[in-house]
Amino acid sequence: MNALCAHFGTCGGCAFQDLGDAEYRARKRALVVDALERHHLRAEVADTVEVPAASRRRCVFKIKKTGSAVAIGFHARASHDIVDMRECRVLTKPLAALVPRLRDIMGEVLSDGEACEAHATQAANGIDLMLRWRRRVTTATTGALARWAGRNGVVRITAGQEILVELEKPFVKIASARLQLPPGAFLQPTQAGEALLQAHVAKAVAGARQVADLFAGCGTFALSLAAKAKVHAVESEQTQLDALAQAVRGARGLKPVTTERRDLFKHPLSAAELGRFEAIVLDPPRAGASTQIAEIAASKVARVAYVSCNAQSFARDAATLVAAGWILRRVVPVDQFLWSEHIEIAADFVRN
């Protein structure tokens, strides 16, 4: 666990790469324990479960061209400077190998002083690349990107939601379903972490016949739960719901999955609406789900599986449920963000 990357100490991505294994796992677990203690919560917090190195399949590369040189990588710690990446122990091999090739094409299409972001996802059939930049895309640029993509295992390039190049539709497998990714699709950062979270959620809601999947994204949990339960997936982005619905139609052996477009921050499912479900799964953004949690706390639902990428907002929401009489039964730190100061959490609550 303490083999250092050449960029460690400068790159803002990794903070704990110099720690020994035991100290590292304890430090990650402490992120969860400390957050809970700040809200006067006590719970069974399991030992940290790690994903392998070189397993992160999603990232955002920061890119800037200065003169003829192109810097590509992540921001330096507490800075907007870009650490020009020459290696990375976190990314999958295909994503790490993409960096020098991406540097070449950005040198060709960017102007001096121009900056952009490249959101890269390793799909099952190649790399999906979404560019965020402020430029008018010309035919010449699109042609250069298409030629480059075909040589470098990139199956799609988009500018935001606009498709510039699509050699194949990128897809991933979730349970028995083939999920075609819309541009900007939300996926768990690692396949190993995804499997760990799915297993925890499945155990937490086992036996439930009607499950609500809130902040459902493309269906990471809905698709895995639908083998045994009817699932109602709620998400604010229609493109994600469309992808989920298409995956359900193409899969066999799934129970019904319904979808609903809804902004759960502004319009949470009410306690009355939640009453028809036997269990709830939620995986909100970093801000947590305080408005929705208040409705869950007042509902008659028996079980909640909560997945979070932010220990602070999770602890705040957990305190709301506990104050309403729920029991925080088990908390599992899942280290999907290797060597960083972040931790994923899988937890389950039951009514007292």
By annotation, the residues acting in catalysis are 309
Q: Long-range contacts of range 134-139, CB-CB < 8 Å, 24 or more positions apart?
A: 135/111, 137/162, 137/164
End-to-end CA, the chain: 40
What residue spans of 189-333 are helical by DSSP H? Answer: 191-204, 222-225, 238-250, 271-274, 290-298, 311-323
Q: Which residues contact 100 (CB under 8 A, 6 or more apart)?
A: none
Type and span of the H or E element at 127? strand 126-132
Strands 82-84 and 326-335: unpaired
Structure tokens at 133: 């930049």
CA distance linking residue 99 with residue 88, whole number of Å: 10
Residue corresponding to tokens 């091999």: 93
Report the C-alpha gap between 317 and 326 in whole angstroms: 11
Please tell me the distance from the alpha carbon of residue 271 to that of residue 291, in angstroms, as a whole number: 11
- Quote the CA–CA distance of 142 and 103 in Å, as a whole number: 16
How many of the other CB atoms lie within 10 Å of CB of 163?
A: 13
Using CB atoms within 10 Å of the CB of residue 162, give its burial: 0 to 12 exposed, 13 to 18 middle, 19+ buried: exposed
